[in-house]
Amino acid sequence: MAMKLYCFGESGNSYKAALTMTLAGVEWVPVFVNFFHGDARSPEFRALNEMGEVPVLRDGDEVLTQSGLIQYHIAEKTGKLLPQDHHLRQEVMRWVLWDNHKMSSQAGTLRFLMNFVPEEKRPQEVIRWLSGRLRDAFKVLDAHLEGRDFIVDDVPSLADTACCGYLYYPEPFTFDRKAWPNIDRWLDNVAALPGWKHPYDMMPGRPSDRGL
């Protein structure tokens, strides 16, 4: 039976799971969560995930949440996107954790505040502050990608499918690809992998559905 991913198109955290599953060649179907209608905070959804967040993966009887955990579940099940070598595996985990801690959390929130909050309610001081923190993260990633095609050992891994989670979205969030040439090149490398799709072509829901 196909795995089910509770997700929505605008969620970069969902995209990390969706892209990992797609590149690893597993069969999955999306279940649309109407986040902008408050569905992720509903009692029904909380019963599925007490954290009130997408993505959630249902794989048979198993229910998994947190994009990083879903990524590892898929990699362990398929043997894809995770090296065998212990030190390289540690290096993958290091970048998955760094992304969750330092990059996606800033990028996703900044994109939300700059695009999905009504213009008159956007907290400008928070936006400026987050964009500074995101710039610091881009500096680290761009420097790391100098001379590299992929983040760990020059082959695609969960580190790539984590770190790229928010970086293909077209809405402005102070990310100018051309200002970060190594990140720009790496995003092209990831997008050239067989099966790759843009988040809005992989999961239901996009801003134009809401007239944005």
* Distance (Å, whole) CA 128 – CA 34: 28
User: What is the DSSP code (8-state) at residue 193?
Assistant: S
Nearer to its own copies, 119 or 201 (CB): 119
Among 26, 69, 88, 114, binds its own copies (CB under 8 A): 69
According to DSSP, the β-strands at 28-32 and 3-7 are parallel
Examine residue 144 and tell whether it contacts its own copies (CB under 8 A). yes
- Type of residue at 136: D
Nearer to its own copies, 150 or 196 (CB): 150
Examine residue 117 and tell whether it contacts its own copies (CB under 8 A). no
Stretch that binds its own copies, among 44-52, 152-160, 183-191, 198-206 (CB under 8 A): 44-52
Backbone angles phi, psi at 4, to 5 degrees: -115, 130
Among 25, 29, 37, 101, binds its own copies (CB under 8 A): 101
Examine residue 66 and tell whether it contacts its own copies (CB under 8 A). yes
Among 37, 87, 122, 177, binds its own copies (CB under 8 A): 87
* Distance (Å, whole) CA 99 – CA 166: 10
* Distance (Å, whole) CA 112 – CA 36: 11
Among 12, 14, 58, 73, binds its own copies (CB under 8 A): 73
Q: How many chain residues bind its own copies (CB under 8 A)?
A: 31
* Distance (Å, whole) CA 57 – CA 18: 10
Place of tokens 């505040």: 113
Q: Are 151 and 163 in contact (CB under 8 A)?
A: yes
Examine residue 77 and tell whether it contacts its own copies (CB under 8 A). no
Residue ranges in contact with its own copies by CB under 8 A: 50-52, 62, 64-69, 72-73, 87, 90, 93-94, 97-98, 100-102, 104-105, 123-126, 129, 140, 143-144
